[in-house]
Amino acid sequence: MKRLIIVGAGGFGREVYAWAEAHPDCGRLWEIAGFLDDNPAALDRFDYPVSILSAVVDYSPQSNELFLCAIGSPAIKRMVCGKLLGSGAEFISLVHPTVVIGFNVEIGVGTIICPHAIVTCDVTIGDFVAINCHSSIGHDVRIADWVTLSGHCDVTGQTELGEMAFLGSGARILPLKKVGARAMVGAGSVVINHVPKNAKVFGNPARIFDSEG
């Protein structure tokens, strides 16, 4: 049986531990071995049956190990996972049993879809995407690599999320709109226009707060 290692022992990592434990592959194809985190005290206040195995920089992946990326920040996620991929780590995707998935949905490597999310039909989800609890993905949506959706986001039909985009809790993207690469949509914001790459938008309707072009 393979050893499953969760990369990141922060809040999202602890949530992912619960989602992995509830997955039908747990105890059948793999067992949870522990966490990787550069903060050795990340679990000190919590009671978990597994521990932090190592800092990421010090870890050498083994052939009997699988990895889940449980880091919310797209930039940190890409940096940390890039190191592990360069050392030969094998990442898997995790889709919670309560997720509703329709027809013609493609899900990339290293992606996590959390409880009660809905992915409708004809959707493409890239690698290392995080879709948090109760978020919904409409028809014909395209989500690029390294994107993070917080809880209760509504990504409606025919929208596009660029590489490393981040959506805060409760963000809503109206149909046919594009969120550019590395853009951030603030919590509760409603996107009614295209969001340029690197922009930060907030509000209802969402307005640009900061942009690097």
Chain segment 118-146, per-residue pLDDT in tens: 999 999 999 999 999 999 999 999 999 99
Mean pLDDT of the chain: 96
Q: Residue ranges of the domains in the chain?
A: 2-92, 95-191
pLDDT tens digits, residue range 142-183?
A: 999 999 999 999 999 999 999 999 999 999 999 999 999 999
Please report where in the chains the tokens 């690029």 appear, as a residue. 144
Note whether 2-92 and 95-191 share their fold: no
CATH class assigned to 2-92: alpha beta
Confidence of residue 212 (pLDDT cuts 50, 70, 90): low
Report whether pLDDT(66) > 60: yes
Angle at Cα 57 formed by Cα 53 and Cα 61, nearest 5°? 60
Please report, rounded to a whole number, the percentage of residues in the chain having pLDDT higher than 90: 97
**41 Cβ contact partners less than 8 Å away, ≥ 6 residues apart:** none
pTM (2 decimals)?
Answer: 0.94
pLDDT of 57: 87
Q: What is the pLDDT of residue 11?
A: 96
> What's the chain's length in residues?
213
Any residues with CB less than 8 A from the CB of 6 and at least 6 apart, and which?
13, 16, 17, 20, 32, 34, 35, 36, 67, 68, 70
Residue 213: which pLDDT band, with cuts at 50, 70 and 90? very low
- CATH class of the 95-191 domain in this structure: mainly beta
